[in-house]
Amino acid sequence: MCNNEKIIVWVAEADGKVVGLIAVEPNDKEKTSEVQFLAVHPEYQNHGIGTELNSFALQKMKDSGMKMAVVGTGGDESHAPARRSYEKA
């Protein structure tokens, strides 16, 4: 559950269930959007779902007039898959 009305969430579905999601928080004043969260179910990772979610979200940001996307990840190895996904998009 998300209690922040500003955050927009898009989901990826496969086999009739949600297998991934991306959440972004737009800042209309600064014309930026920050990726708050990206997750793909472990059984569906390495199938391009994270990349597709990123690409979809980036296009939606552009379509809404955003000029910059902001994302942050940890520098440790556990965040490497997320960094690769963001870099592809």
Count up the domains in the chain and report the number: 1
Q: Given CA atoms 35, 47, 89, 84 in this order, what sign does their dihedral have?
A: positive
Q: What is the CATH number of the domain that holds 81?
A: 3.40.630.30
User: Would you state the pLDDT for residue 75?
Assistant: 73
**Domain annotation covers residue 54:** yes
**Domain annotation covers residue 31:** yes
Residues of the chain with pLDDT under 70: 1-4, 82, 85-86, 88-89
Q: Print the domain residue range for 25.
A: 8-88
Q: Give the integer Cα–Cα distance in Å for 30 and 38.
A: 22
Radius of gyration of the chain (CA): 13
**Domain annotation covers residue 60:** yes
Among 63, 43, 58, 42, smallest CA distance to 10 is for 58
pTM for the predicted model, two decimal places: 0.79
**Domain annotation covers residue 2:** no
**Domain annotation covers residue 75:** yes
**Domain annotation covers residue 1:** no
